[in-house]
């Protein structure tokens, strides 16, 4: 039994992330162990959640991991927690836009139903008064399987405005759990792919999270929120176990995982699966570390913002050289999106690792969406023909977009990505919990390198 609530909104831009982060921080300040979760593939919001809770923020995405894993992954992440806070994505009923799934698939409502969790609707009240009751009534009755347990009014202008809103909602049958005023100083800065990651803002992000916790703690009835969370019934499932998903490899090869401010996009389950498969997982920061960890036999470079840090990445010649040398040995290297850019010859004319004969640059068009992909080439991640579900999220392009032996193809698009020796580099983001065999295959390749066995 994990007490839990899902924070949703009528649409994007209502302030879900600020309210969710503030609520996590406020409950943590009470001495509670709070397990933070995010619906969908987003990497940035969980960073703020993690900062507020002091434990990893985890994603719950039906597309990426499959419906059967949502509850087990939730229970895995929430182990030892007193309460779980799940932040939704987009509007409550907005799901994956893909022809292979039904409307609403992967939506916040979908996940709330799977978790049997009550929903708290965060409503941006800045430009409405009595009409708020119609909005809440509609969301409360639209889908009977979703239990709307309360409302938090956000961006309230004044005491009078709050009184009008509360009076209007008195007949809606959904309790008001809090009213948060407009505080522009606490808005999190954004740029070309959304919010600036917490890891890049460092001390400033810590101050913002603390301030959000103070505001939500003084504006929201935390006792009422906890009572609502405790009304969620037991879940009839066992927690996800990484060790049960992989084949353990002997030899304990060192697998480095890129981190630091330039590479903030990653799912906690990836490192857990690598460790369960027998790897000694260590972190390397390409902005600061001059060399790979001793004995590195494999490297994972996830997503992030190398375009923001291109000059600093280029200046770290020692690590760029070490990665090129590692690739030359045939060691497994898995690179997603930002990792692809880092392995390229250049990014916005700044020299990168030079592992791939490709040039990367910023592009005016955003590439965004879920992808159903098939592997075109045998690689350290998967055999050719393997089908996976991932997502794409970037404003850069590489020239060429694919190598002689491409990584993937999705839908009617042409080949994408690069498979070259032990390197697998692509724009496709994957949650390895949805394809756990990748971890075993990758660690087995690293173990062969460590043992000196030719690939």
DSSP state of 54: T
Task: Provide the phi-psi class of 293: left if phi over 0, else alpha when psi is between -120 and 50, else beta.
Answer: beta
Q: How many CB atoms lie within 10 A of CB 134?
A: 12
Half-sphere exposure of 269 (CA within 13 A, CB side): 32
337 has catalytic annotation: yes
Q: Which residues of 213-236 are buried (b: 16+ CB within 10 A; e: fewer)?
A: bebbbebbbbebbbebbeebeebe
The β-bridge relationship of strands 83-87 and 34-39 is: parallel
CA distance 455 to 453: 6
Beta bridge partners of 191: 194
CA distance 107 to 143: 12
Backbone φ and ψ of 100, nearest 5° = -85, -5
> Which member of 109, 122, 229, 337 is catalytic?
337
Spacing of C-alpha 328 from chain mean position: 31
Instruction: Please give the positions annotated as active site.
Output: 337
């Amino acid at each position: 039994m994990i007490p839990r609530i899902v924070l949703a909104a009528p649409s994007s831009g209502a302030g879900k992330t600020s309210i969710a982060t503030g609520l996590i921080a406020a409950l943590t300040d009470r001495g509670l162990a709070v397990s933070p979760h995010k619906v969908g593939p987003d990497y940035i919001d969980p960073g703020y959640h993690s900062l507020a809770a002091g434990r990893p923020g985890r994603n719950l995405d039906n597309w990426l991991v499959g419906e059967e894993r949502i509850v087990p992954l939730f229970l895995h992440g929430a182990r030892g927690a007193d309460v779980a806070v799940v932040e939704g994505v987009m509007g409550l009923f907005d799901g994956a836009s893909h022809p292979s799934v039904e409307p609403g698939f992967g939506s916040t409502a979908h996940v709330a139903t799977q978790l049997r969790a009550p929903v708290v609707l965060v409503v941006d009240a800045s430009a409405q008064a009595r009409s708020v009751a119609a909005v809440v009534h509609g969301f409360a009755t639209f889908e009977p399987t979703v239990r709307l347990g309360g409302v938090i009014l956000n961006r309230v202008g004044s005491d009078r405005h709050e009184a009008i809103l509360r009076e209007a909602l008195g007949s809606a049958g959904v309790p008001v759990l809090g009213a948060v005023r407009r505080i522009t100083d606490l808005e999190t800065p954004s740029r070309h792919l959304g919010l600036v990651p917490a890891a890049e803002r460092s001390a400033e992000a810590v101050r913002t999270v603390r301030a959000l916790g103070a505001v939500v703690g003084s504006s929201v009835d935390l006792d009422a929120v906890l009572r609502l969370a405790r009304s969620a019934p037991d879940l009839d499932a066992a927690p996800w176990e990484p060790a049960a998903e992989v084949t353990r490899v002997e030899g304990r090869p060192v697998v480095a995982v890129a981190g630091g401010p330039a590479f903030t996009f990653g799912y906690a389950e990836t490192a857990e699966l690598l460790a369960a498969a027998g790897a000694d997982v260590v972190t390397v920061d390409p902005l600061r570390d001059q060399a790979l960890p001793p004995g590195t036999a494999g490297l994972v470079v996830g997503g992030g913002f190398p375009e923001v840090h291109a000059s600093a990445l280029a200046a770290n010649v020692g690590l760029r050289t070490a990665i090129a040398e590692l690739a030359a040995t045939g060691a497994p290297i898995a690179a997603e999106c930002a990792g692809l850019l880092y392995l390229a010859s250049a990014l916005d004319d700044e020299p990168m690792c030079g592992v791939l004969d490709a040039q990367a640059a910023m592009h005016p068009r955003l590439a965004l969406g879920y992808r159903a992909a098939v592997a075109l080439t045998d690689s350290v991640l998967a055999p050719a023909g393997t089908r996976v579900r991932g997502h794409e999220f970037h404003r850069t392009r590489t020239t060429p977009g694919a190598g002689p032996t491409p990584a993937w193809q999705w839908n009617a698009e042409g080949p994408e990505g690069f498979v070259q020796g032990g390197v697998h580099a692509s724009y496709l983001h994957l949650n390895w919990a949805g394809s756990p065999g990748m971890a075993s295959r990758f660690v087995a390749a690293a173990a062969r390198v460590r043992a000196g066995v030719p690939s």
